[in-house]
Amino acid sequence: MTTTTAAGTLTLGDKTFNRLGYGTMQLPGSGVWGPSADPENARRVLAKAVDLGINFFDTADAYGPFTSNLLMRDTFAPYQGNYKNIFISTKVGQTRQGPNLWTPDGRPDYLRQQVELNLRTLGVDSIDLLFLHRIDPKIPLEDQLGELKKMQDEGKIKHLGLSQVKIPELQAAEKIAHTDAVQNLYNVTDRSDEDVLDYAEQHKIVFVPWFPLATGKLANEGSVLKKIADKYQASPAQIALAWLLKRSPMMLPIPGTANLDHLAQNVAATAIKLSDNDFQAIANLK
Ligand SMILES: NC(=O)c1ccc[n+]([C@@H]2O[C@H](COP(=O)([O-])OP(=O)(O)OC[C@H]3O[C@@H](n4cnc5c(N)ncnc54)[C@H](OP(=O)(O)O)[C@@H]3O)[C@@H](O)[C@H]2O)c1
């Protein structure tokens, strides 16, 4: 059985995690809204991910809201045995108005409430990594990050991260609190944040690319990666992930799936070693 260990590891604080994680956004109902269509399957997928060596899980209060967190708590709490060393990243700073609707809200009181609700719904005493889901343009950054820094000092958050940010925002943030991870849209066919990735690599910031499979477009049979995938007797999804893993040692893809076979396939991608030529050929597809 192939496990994630082939991709190597990254470390934050006292926890080390394999360099392929799992994103929980496919688990709530359609439009990332409401309960899972099949909660039993969702819990099976989470448990299977751990069996396959995944120990980094990305979630957010806004997924459902709270559907993904509660599924994680149901599956993993009290975080003993196999589940003892799970590393959880979650996010605050977005409100939900319905399926596929998201609105940033960075009021400090709201952020504090959401950190507390993340702790409660995940069933943990402290959050390993807390992302500000979006910087709210209506609120000064020092108020948003300042509140999260206070909660870090209170021991409720271990590490802080920012999502969908540019380099000047990272530089401004560093004056308020240290950023340990960035989570930005990045995949083979959307590399508009190449400079942010390079900056993250230079500063040893973990880079978590969201939509690593371009929401499935890179994974299907019509994928631009199909030809190279055939050469490696792999699936296009696996090549998309293998390319990300080779692109940077700070890269931590978190493909999302509610399908057990896809999960196993994504994990097996960590064992694929692309040649330098194929890596470049894929880079040129952009
Ligand atoms: N920070 C942010 O603002 C932000 C925004 C979006 C997402 N995220 C995070 O990023 C994670 C990943 O994003 P995502 O799940 O939306 O998109 P994704 O990983 O790019 O793609 C997920 C889609 O690909 C399909 N898929 C997965 N593995 C496959 C495989 N091996 N073969 C064929 N199809 C496959 C899934 O369907 P099946 O269920 O059928 O496998 C699903 O439709 C999320 O779970 C979330 O944690 C963060």
The residues, any chain, with a CB within 8 Å of residue 227's CB and separated by 6 or more, are none
Number of Cβ atoms within 10 Å of the Cβ of 264: 17
Count CA atoms closer than 13 A to 164's CA, side-chain side: 13
Number of Cβ atoms within 10 Å of the Cβ of 260: 14
Active site residue 63: yes
Give the H or E element holding residue 148: helix 141-153
Q: Does any domain span residue 168?
A: yes
β 15-18/9-12 pair status:
antiparallel
Radius of gyration of the chain (CA): 18
Structure tokens at 141: 């950054």
Q: Does any domain span residue 46?
A: yes
Choose among 1, 37, 2: nearest CA to 270: 2
Full domain range(s) for residue 16: 4-216+251-257
Per residue in 234-249, pLDDT (tens digit) is 999 999 999 999 999 9
Q: Does any domain span residue 99?
A: yes
**Rounded CA separation 88/117 (Å):** 14
Q: Give me the DSSP letters along 111-161.
A: HHHHHHHHHHHHT-SSEEEEEESS--TTS-HHHHHHHHHHHHHTTSEEEEE
- Residue 205 has what DSSP assignment? -
Phi, psi of 279 (to 5 degrees): -60, -45
Choose among 1, 41, 29, 4: nearest CA to 19: 4
- Probe ligand 1: pick from 213, 260, 266, max atoms within 8 Å of CB? 213
Dist. CA 101 → ligand 1 center (Å): 17
110, pLDDT greater than 70: yes
pLDDT of residue 5: 72
Q: Does any domain span residue 273?
A: no
Phi, psi of 90 (to 5 degrees): -135, 175
Number of Cβ atoms within 10 Å of the Cβ of 110: 17
Number of domains in the chain: 1
Per residue in 149-198, pLDDT (tens digit) is 999 999 999 999 999 999 999 999 999 999 999 999 999 999 999 999 99
Q: Does any domain span residue 192?
A: yes
Nearest CA to ligand 1 atom 48: 210
User: End-to-end distance of the chain based on CA atoms, in angstroms?
Assistant: 33
Question: pTM for the complete prediction?
Answer: 0.97
Q: Does any domain span residue 230?
A: no
| Domain CATH code at residue 122 | 3.20.20.100
- Probe ligand 1: pick from 262, 265, 270, max atoms within 8 Å of CB? 262
Helix 141-153 vs helix 167-174: crossing angle, to nearest 10: 50
Give the H or E element holding residue 10: strand 9-12
Grade residue 285 by pLDDT with cuts at 50, 70 and 90. confident
Q: Does any domain span residue 63?
A: yes
Q: Does any domain span residue 53?
A: yes
35 touches ligand 1 (CB under 6 Å)? no
Grade residue 78 by pLDDT with cuts at 50, 70 and 90. very high
